[in-house]
């Protein structure tokens, strides 16, 4: 009964989405208030219905209702509760439902926080989101029904893929999808502006916080995925340039460009049509990412679908959304206008440089990701484009962008003077140069690429600190608190995010420069020295988990006589599926990680004999994710800005007031 309710809710949601997509659009064209007014209740109803459907599926998973095929294939009654719940989005169908839920949620949020928008714009934005929802709901109902029943009912489920039974599964997909789908709001604003032909500073001010929030979630989502693959895959890598990772990274690059371009559009009225194009691009790349990952074109742990009908549907949907919006752009971009003038050295030009570099980097990632697919499709052979390609293209493109990151926030709008910039950035430049030259010695060995990386990290950090100090010194207020309050949260958010980039670069540089990876054969009691520490293997004990049997190894890490850590890597065999999983054991610290994972027994004595053991030393690796966290925090800080917050408080109060009135 519950699954049928969920299915029914999806059908009604589709109908509501059609209403939401069509009527307000017509209303906006005819300036008919009654039709436009449909948008808000329709968006809220659509969200409620999709949430109901999602709740029904989650309920089926939590109660292990194996009469639902999706549950029978992707869950098991011995699965711990949190993974039974997370298994809701562990399948192709479920992850689409999560997508639709997020889309509904963003539409709901827009309906709540958009009362100060002109009615026409608000109606069009919600209508565009409704049209996108039609595509996804239709796809689910036509080709990937998550509520399909199974006859006869199996007594037990097949189990969730062992790799997905991890806390990462609970948080990574929702965060990533929040980001992916959040770009639909920026997209809807862009399309609405193209249709209306009106794009000004207030449009940018409205669409900016939405973009920033979506980008922050996407940042967190990507970072969580990176952490997850770091400790789960047992390879100790934090980024593999895997096509699936690229699929999430490309919208992030476009979103980063969009955030910066929106800043110019809001402050200076420039880059207008470029901003609109970026908004279309960011969301299109989210869709392409979903297509690549979910259609089975790319085979990886993320790919579920093998049904060609699904791939065709998503491809068609992509063609309509991307083709349609680009056609609209081609016809209407002229009406939107290009915007103000600026000098070759100015904050605008720096941000333009940032945008160009980001988009070129994006194009190179896209090429490397799609090229093997094209070659394969044309039957020219099977090739793979590995990390060396991405490393050798991406880093040289990012280096000048990182340089601009230091200068941009200090340069003035319209026209900046180079001597003036030098005066203000002198200290940052000295600090950066000194760090680049000296810091690698502290790590033991001087390497040119490490020196460059640390120089860039110190440059960004130093320039950010200079920007802060100079602003505070220049503020007319007395007292440090008053001076701090004189600047906007948006500005602090920017500083925080840029500091995050500095931490990120430092982490990447140091881990790439000084990581040690060793595969060794260890007898019980035998030790090996890696990176100055001794790793001693103390043997294996069996241990039973809730739904798996583990072999737990003990590895003592000592430095001289000092005990550093005891690591307990596991080899798990999941009972339901028989899948084997390696669980690495990691001792994390600010200065780096000790990382041990088990291979397999290599002697005839089996598990009590010698084992193949993988030992990694990862200096400063956690800085990578700490940097991502700072970037996301910067985004969230920025939207706390007064000019958005006032509107928000107003909105919340009126919504809560209405709810209270409705309750009494």
Partner 1 sequence: MKARYRRFAWIGLGLAAVGIAVALVLSAFRSNLVFFFTPSQVVAHEVPQSRPFRVGGLVEAGSLRRDPGSLTVHFLVTDTAKTVPVTYTGLLPDLFKEGKGVVAQGRMGADGAFHATEVLAKHDENYMPPEAKSAIEQAQRGPESMPSLHEARAR
| Residues making contact with partner 1 (CB under 8 A) | 161, 163, 234, 299-301, 306, 308, 341, 344, 352, 356-357, 360, 363-364, 367, 371, 376-377, 379, 381-386, 388-389, 392-393, 396-397, 519-521, 577-582, 597, 599-600, 602-603, 612, 614
Which sign, positive or negative, has the C-alpha torsion 182, 184, 190, 196?
negative
d(CA 101, CA 99): 5
Q: Cβ closer to partner 1: 295 or 509?
A: 295
d(CA 583, CA 314): 35
Q: Cβ closer to partner 1: 382 or 661?
A: 382
Which residue is listed with tokens 């009964």?
A: 1
Provide the minimum distance between the beta carbon of 526 and partner 1 in the complex, in angstroms, as a whole number.
12
Q: Cβ closer to partner 1: 348 or 593?
A: 348
Alpha helices in 238-299 (DSSP H): 243-268, 272-294
Provide the minimum distance between the beta carbon of 387 and partner 1 in the complex, in angstroms, as a whole number.
8
Q: Do 98 and 89 meet the contact criterion of CB atoms below 8 Å apart?
A: yes
DSSP assignment letter at 68: B
Q: Cβ closer to partner 1: 377 or 434?
A: 377
- Residue 303's φ and ψ, nearest 5 degrees, are -90, 120
d(CA 357, CA 189): 25
Q: Do 77 and 34 meet the contact criterion of CB atoms below 8 Å apart?
A: no
Please, what's the largest Cα pairwise distance for the chain?
81
DSSP assignment letter at 163: G
Provide the minimum distance between the beta carbon of 236 and partner 1 in the complex, in angstroms, as a whole number.
11
Provide the minimum distance between the beta carbon of 82 and partner 1 in the complex, in angstroms, as a whole number.
21
Q: Of 99, 376, 366, 371, which is closest to residue 247 (Cα–Cα)?
A: 366
Q: Cβ closer to partner 1: 308 or 444?
A: 308
Provide the minimum distance between the beta carbon of 520 and partner 1 in the complex, in angstroms, as a whole number.
7
Provide the minimum distance between the beta carbon of 341 and partner 1 in the complex, in angstroms, as a whole number.
7
Report angle CA 264, 490, 185 to the nearest 5 degrees: 65
Provide the minimum distance between the beta carbon of 399 and partner 1 in the complex, in angstroms, as a whole number.
12
Q: Do 346 and 354 meet the contact criterion of CB atoms below 8 Å apart?
A: no
Q: Cβ closer to partner 1: 93 or 622?
A: 93
Could you tell me how far CA 31 lies from the centroid of its own chain? 38
Q: Of 90, 101, 110, which is closest to residue 55 (Cα–Cα)?
A: 101
Q: Cβ closer to partner 1: 578 or 662?
A: 578
Burial class of residue 22 (count of CB atoms within 10 Å of its CB; 0-12, 13-18, 19+): middle
Provide the minimum distance between the beta carbon of 41 and partner 1 in the complex, in angstroms, as a whole number.
44
Q: Cβ closer to partner 1: 387 or 539?
A: 387
* 39-62 helix and 2-30 helix, angle to the nearest 10 degrees: 160
Q: Cβ closer to partner 1: 237 or 406?
A: 237
Q: Cβ closer to partner 1: 129 or 584?
A: 584
Q: What b/e sequence results for 312-321 when a residue is b if at least 16 CB atoms lie within 10 Å of its CB, and e otherwise?
A: ebbeebbeeb
Q: Cβ closer to partner 1: 525 or 578?
A: 578
Which residues lie below 8 Å from residue 396, measured CB to CB, with a gap of 6+?
none
Q: What b/e sequence results for 50-81 when a residue is b if at least 16 CB atoms lie within 10 Å of its CB, and e otherwise?
A: bbbbbbbbbbbbbebbbebbbbbbbbbebbee
Provide the minimum distance between the beta carbon of 388 and partner 1 in the complex, in angstroms, as a whole number.
4
DSSP assignment letter at 154: P
Q: Cβ closer to partner 1: 356 or 429?
A: 356
Provide the minimum distance between the beta carbon of 434 and partner 1 in the complex, in angstroms, as a whole number.
29
Provide the minimum distance between the beta carbon of 405 and partner 1 in the complex, in angstroms, as a whole number.
16
Which residues lie below 8 Å from residue 61, measured CB to CB, with a gap of 6+?
71, 74, 75, 84, 85, 87, 88
Provide the minimum distance between the beta carbon of 159 and partner 1 in the complex, in angstroms, as a whole number.
11
Q: Helix (H, G, I), strand (E, B), or coil: what is residue 538?
A: strand
Q: Do 250 and 365 meet the contact criterion of CB atoms below 8 Å apart?
A: yes
């Amino acid at each position: 009964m519950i699954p049928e309710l969920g299915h029914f809710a999806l059908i009604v949601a589709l109908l509501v989405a059609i209403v939401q997509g069509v009527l307000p659009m017509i209303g906006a064209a005819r300036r008919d208030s009654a039709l436009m007014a449909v948008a808000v209740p329709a968006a809220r109803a659509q969200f409620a219905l999709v949430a109901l459907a999602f709740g029904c599926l989650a309920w089926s998973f939590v109660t292990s209702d194996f009469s639902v095929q999706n549950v029978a294939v992707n869950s098991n009654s011995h699965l711990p509760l949190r993974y039974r719940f997370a298994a809701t989005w562990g399948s192709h169908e479920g992850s689409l439902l999560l997508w639709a839920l997020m889309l509904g949620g963003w539409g709901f949020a827009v309906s709540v926080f958009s009362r100060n928008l002109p009615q026409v714009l608000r109606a069009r934005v919600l209508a565009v989101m409704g049209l996108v929802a039609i595509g996804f709901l239709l796809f689910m109902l036509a080709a990937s029904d998550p509520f399909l029943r199974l006859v006869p009912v199996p007594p037990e489920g097949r189990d969730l893929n062992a790799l997905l039974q991890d806390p990462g599964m609970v948080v990574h997909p929702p965060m990533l999808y929040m980001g992916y789908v959040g770009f639909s709001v920026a997209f809807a604003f862009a399309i609405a502006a193209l249709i209306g032909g009106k794009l000004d500073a207030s449009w940018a001010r409205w669409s900016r916080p939405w973009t920033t929030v979506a980008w922050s979630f996407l940042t967190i989502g990507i970072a969580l995925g990176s952490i997850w693959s770091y400790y789960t895959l047992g390879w100790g890598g934090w980024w593999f340039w895997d096509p699936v990772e690229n699929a999430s990274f490309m919208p992030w690059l476009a979103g980063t460009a969009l955030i910066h371009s929106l800043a110019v559009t809001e402050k200076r009225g420039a880059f207008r049509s470029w901003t609109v194009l970026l908004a279309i691009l960011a969301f299109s790349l989210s869709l392409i990412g979903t297509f690549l990952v979910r259609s089975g074109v790319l085979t990886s742990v993320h790919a579920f679908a093998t049904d060609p009908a699904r791939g065709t549907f998503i491809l068609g949907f992509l063609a309509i959304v991307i083709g349609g919006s680009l056609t609209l752009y081609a016809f209407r971009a002229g009406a939107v206008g290009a915007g103000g003038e600026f000098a070759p050295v100015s904050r605008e030009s720096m941000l333009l440089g940032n945008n160009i570099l980001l988009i070129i980097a994006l194009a190179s990632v896209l090429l490397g990701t799609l090229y093997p697919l094209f070659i394969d499709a044309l039957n020219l052979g099977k090739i793979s484009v590995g990390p060396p390609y991405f490393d050798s293209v991406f880093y040289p493109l990012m280096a000048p962008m990182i340089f601009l990151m230091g200068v941009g926030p200090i340069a003035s709008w319209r026209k900046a003077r180079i001597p003036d910039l030098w005066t203000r950035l002198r200290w940052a430049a000295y600090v950066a140069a000194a760090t680049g030259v000296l810091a690698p010695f502290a790590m033991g060995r001087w390497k040119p690429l490490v020196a460059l990386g640390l120089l860039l990290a110190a440059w960004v950090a130093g320039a950010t600190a200079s920007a802060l100090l100079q602003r505070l010194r220049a503020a007319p207020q007395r007292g440090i608190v008053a001076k701090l309050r004189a600047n906007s949260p948006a500005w602090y958010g920017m500083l925080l995010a840029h500091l995050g980039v500095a931490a990120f670069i430092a982490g990447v540089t140091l881990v790439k420069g000084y990581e040690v990876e060793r595969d060794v054969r260890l007898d019980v009691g035998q030790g090996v020295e890696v990176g100055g520490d001794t790793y001693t293997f103390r043997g294996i004990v069996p241990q039973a988990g809730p739904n798996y049997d583990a072999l737990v190894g003990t590895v003592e890490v000592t430095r001289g006589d000092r005990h550093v850590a005891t690591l307990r890597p596991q080899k798990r065999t999941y009972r339901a599926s028989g899948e084997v999983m390696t669980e690495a054991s990691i001792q994390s610290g600010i200065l780096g990680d000790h990382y041990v994972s088990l291979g397999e027994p290599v002697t005839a004595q089996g598990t009590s004999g010698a084992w193949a053991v993988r030992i990694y030393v990862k200096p400063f690796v956690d800085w990578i994710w700490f940097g991502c966290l700072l970037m996301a925090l910067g985004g969230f800080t920025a939207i706390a800005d007064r000019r958005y917050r006032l509107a928000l408080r107003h909105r919340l109060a009126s919504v809560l007031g209405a709810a209270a009135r409705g309750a009494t």
